[in-house]
Amino acid sequence: MANGWTFVSNHGHVLVALATDPDALLREVAARVGITERAVQLIVADLESSGYLTRERVGRRNRYAVREDLPFRHPLEAGVPVGAFLELVRGSVWPPLPVTGPDATAHPAPGRTPP
């Protein structure tokens, strides 16, 4: 992030983090997203009040569930359910695997040097 912006907002990052690890502590989510724990708390409150996230108390911990059937909020993406975005992210392989075969030297994986 050389110039400080990303394609996904912090709300989106928190949603992805909790969708992939519903039992995560908010402190862990904050570390993964790169924001403060207080910022995560405010985002979780936004997501809960909007119905995108539910919280269930399990012992002394919380378990979060994302309403994947709800659409994105902005009119440009309003026809896309949140679950489609999450599936896209969940299907990703990170870090990228190296390219093998005849094109390996022409297209090395990011951060890797060709053999």
pLDDT attached to residue 49: 97
Mean pLDDT over the full length of the chain: 84
Does 66 have pLDDT greater than 60?
yes
pLDDT attached to residue 6: 87
First CA to last CA distance, the chain: 27
- Name the residue with tokens 């402190």: 27
Domains by residue range for the chain, with CATH: 10-90 (1.10.10.10)
pTM to 2 decimals?
0.75
Peptide bond into 95 cis (omega under 30): yes
- Tens of pLDDT, residue by residue over 49-65, are 999 999 999 999 999 99
pLDDT attached to residue 109: 45
The span from the CA of 100 to the CA of 113, in Å, is: 13
Burial degree of 44 (CB within 10 A; 0-12, 13-18, 19+) = buried
The first and second tokens of residue 77, run together, are 């993406």
Name 54's bridge partners: 65
